[in-house]
Amino acid sequence: MASLISGVVQHYEWGDQHTLPELLGLPSDAEPWAELWFGTHPGGPSKVRIQAESRALADLTGELSFLVKVIAAAEPLSLQTHPTLEQARAGFERENEKGMPLLTANRIYRDASAKPEFLCALTNFDALCGFRTVDDSLQVCKENEWNELAEHLSQDGLAKCVRWALSKSDHRLPRQLPDWANRLATSYPDSGGILVALLMNYVQLVPDESLFLEAGNVHAYLHGTAVEVMSSSDNVVRGAFTKKHVDIDEFVKVANLSPTGPSFCRPTTIDQFCVQYEVPTSAFGVQRIDVRDSYAITSNHDAEILLCTSGNAGALTRGQAAVLSQGEEVQLSGPATVFRTWGTN
């Protein structure tokens, strides 16, 4: 039998004031509700009801290797990337040796884990993800008369151009910016991060479309609501668009500054109600179940998290999540949409 678990809300400045409260059936307030976490990560550990007692989810499952989130972005998130496992271990050890407290503001590596992540849109969702080829970007620069950016890109190449843009603090931004870049410029009027963004792939997802972000992928989520599944890590290396700690040297070191297209995850049909997203990692798995009448699940992993994003599935309703241990069963009813997720433990 599935056990309901409580999510932890994160109030980051880019969050939406209404989406997550409405999802949870709670009154909205003046706070930005940015993320809702389900998992055992120390930055937001879930609770589970065990024999009428509320206890840490980790007491039931142990420390989970994966983390499930709902994110609601009213404003852009930071321009960021995530480390490989080797980079995370080295960075975590390095900052430990410096005596940096885990929650200090200028700490980058809060754990020793990589952070591959999957995102599935629940609404129309705008993002920047990876870089175009130099030739394609030069063509776009020519069409829009972004002459200074084109000069640096053609002379220095992509990696040096990115470092130049992020290291200089008082850029004069070009005219003829696309609408999404104009919105960024309103909040960050002289940021070189906008010049970097102009070299990236602008992606517009519709509901149920998804992306996979491997280590080193440079990205920024701009607007929308989505489900995220990732390794249980909070290692984020930021380059722009934030009041949080930015480290340009570490960002350039970790980032993949080669041309890369967005990695879309195709859903594979499991049965008439269920699809599984083709995530290129063994760290976690994700299915989406569109329940119509009834649907039975038997867990075949040490722990699975089920998240209902719409409708009433009987065992859980919209905004609720539950955990299943190995061999446990749950009968869902519909209509409802439920994400089924698991990790390596």
Residue-level pLDDT at 169: 79
Q: Which of 318, 324, 323 is nearest to 336 (CA)?
A: 318
Residues 6+ apart with CB under 8 A from 53: none
- Cα–Cα distances (Å) from 33 to 11, 18, 74, 158, 181, in that order, read 5, 7, 9, 36, 24
For the chain, domains (ranges, CATH) are 7-128+203-264 (2.60.120.10), 134-197 (no CATH), 267-343 (2.60.120.10)
Buried b (16+ CB within 10 A) or exposed e, 138-171: bebbeebebeebbebbeeeebeebbbbbbeeeeb
Residues 6+ apart with CB under 8 A from 127: 119, 202, 203, 205, 211, 219, 220, 221, 222
Residue-level pLDDT at 1: 67
Structure tokens at 303: 């722990």
DSSP 259: B
Longest dimension (CA), the chain: 66
Q: Which of 295, 301, 293, 303 is nearest to 270 (CA)?
A: 295
CA dihedral 259, 166, 235, 158 (to 10 degrees): 10
pLDDT tens for 44-53 read 999 998 777 8
pLDDT tens for 113-152 read 999 999 999 999 999 999 999 999 999 999 999 999 999 9
pLDDT tens for 210-260 read 999 999 999 999 999 999 999 999 999 999 999 999 999 999 999 999 999
Residue-level pLDDT at 345: 64
Classify strands 263-264 and 237-240 as parallel, antiparallel or unpaired: unpaired
Residue-level pLDDT at 190: 87
Q: Which of 330, 283, 284 is nearest to 308 (CA)?
A: 330
Q: Is 97 exposed, middle or buried (0-12, 13-18, 19+ CB in 10 A)?
A: exposed
Q: Which of 252, 222, 27, 273 is nearest to 119 (CA)?
A: 222
Q: Read off the pTM.
A: 0.94
Angle, helix 134-144 to helix 147-167, in steps of 10 degrees: 120
Q: Alpha-carbon Rg of the chain, whole angstroms? A: 21
CB 80 within 8 A of CB 196: no
Structure tokens at 288: 């989406």
- Stretches in the chain below the pLDDT threshold 70: 1, 345
